[in-house]
Structure 1
Amino acid sequence: MAFHEIRFPTNLSFGSVGGPERRTEIVALTSGHEERRTPWQHSRRRYDAGMGLRSLDDIAALIAFFEARAGQLHGFRWKDWADYKSCFPGGTISSADQIIGTGDGVRKAFALRKSYQSGPARYWRPVVKPVAGTVRAAVGKVEQHEARDFTLDSTQGTISFEVPPPVGAEVTAGFEFDVPVRFDTDRIAVSVASFQAGDLPQIPVIEVRL
């Protein structure tokens, strides 16, 4: 399977339904208590691309994209309109949005990530598909400049500094990002009459691990 560094048309993903999925294994004990655990370190997202279709031209664009990806074979980028920034969707990206590491005087490369916190609990989500041209970074609260101070690998989600951040310096970043996904079906069934009557086809999309 290959991954195509191309984004699903954003006008089609806007209006789609989807979000994170977790896997929890629950064992009921004879006492009535439960034991719960998860084999997944990270959540996985699912979407329905059919919800964003509004015209027959949209269906044509979807089918072309589907055929070019050979159905489920090749992955692609997806913009999750509810969660695509290092800050809140209505906010402005800042180089101080997310902590991505601490300098040790040697390390140059840092992986992008996003924090999800509620109360004392926190989850760090790896960000592997940042959007080129949107990434801002800072070392010790001093903003750095792409191409001069650091380079971005937008296919892996890492930034590499020309000079290693000094010992103890907090490394932060802000960015937009896509979700790596694939189609979760090898078949698209569309009835023009049903579509015009408001019956949208179901086109499942699922996040892939990279």
Structure 2
Amino acid sequence: MAFHEVRFPDDISRGARGGPERRTQIVELASGDEERNASWANSRRRYDVAYGIRRADDLATVVAFFEARNGRLYGFRFKDWADYKSCLPSGTPAPTDQLIGTGDGEATAFQLVKTYASGAQSWTRTIAKPVAGTVRVALDGAEQLGGWSVDATTGVVTFDMAPAMGAAVTAGFEFDVPVRFDTDALDVTLDLERLGSITSIPLLEIRR
């Protein structure tokens, strides 16, 4: 996958709009009843960052970023200010936030994930782009200050020694969303003051 490990400017992404999208097929029967089927097992996020452009300098920054990514060709990191932590937005990531696996005495690699739960239902999201320096790990609730490493480009935590059988492997972290531009053209409008604007700059989450 063609990907640049660079983050879209935070001061512009803060004003973006967007969030998760799912694909559901709905068939209405002659009786008026419905049959619903999920076409996607996982959600996919879409954003529009045009709303974060407030100055001419912001516009120039986005155009430069777009050109450096060759339009839709290269993916990049994006901070979703509404959802970028393993905990609630008001909290600080803790090493016990998310269960990422259970030790079996052999496995040493565990993928970072975030679980979204409501009532008895939940959905688990793979976290592939953790923010370097923010990941904390615990075994059975005890934070591990060493003996492990994390790949910030894949979100895989690797232990020097396999966690013991039955040990709860947990982690806390901040993360980015892997995205790409969903257009190969930026429609820039220059006003009389030459400040400029772009009506829409769509981004689409990259799923493997």
| TM-score normalised over the length of structure 2 | 0.96
Distance of 1:17 and 1:209 partners within structure 2: 20
1:52-106 Cα distance to aligned partner (Å, 9 max, x none) = 0110001111000000000001100000000000001110110000001110000
**Residue ranges of structure 1 left out of the alignment (5+ in a row):** none
Deviation at 1:196, TM superposition (A): 7.2
Distance of 1:131 and 1:67 partners within structure 2: 24
Is 1:202 the counterpart of 2:197 in the alignment? no
* Other-structure match for 1:13: 13
The structure 1 segments of at least 4 consecutive aligned residues displaced by more than 6 Å after TM superposition are 194-199
Q: Give the partner amino acid of 1:17.
A: R
* Other-structure match for 2:102: 102
* Other-structure match for 2:142: 142
> For the Cα contact (< 8 Å) 2:104–2:163, is it kept in 1?
yes
1:170 pairs, out of 168, 171, 176, with 168
Q: Give the partner amino acid of 1:31.
A: S
* Other-structure match for 1:80: 80
Distance of 1:107 and 1:195 partners within structure 2: 61
* Other-structure match for 1:61: 61
Q: Say how many residue pairs are matched.
A: 208
> For the Cα contact (< 8 Å) 1:195–1:201, is it kept in 2?
no
* Other-structure match for 1:31: 31
SS of residue in 1 equivalent to 2:50: helix
Distance of 2:81 and 2:44 partners within structure 1: 16
Deviation at 1:197, TM superposition (A): 8.5
Report matched runs for 1:110-189 at 5 Å.
110-145=110-145, 148-189=146-187
**Residue ranges of structure 2 left out of the alignment (5+ in a row):** none
Q: Percent identity?
A: 56
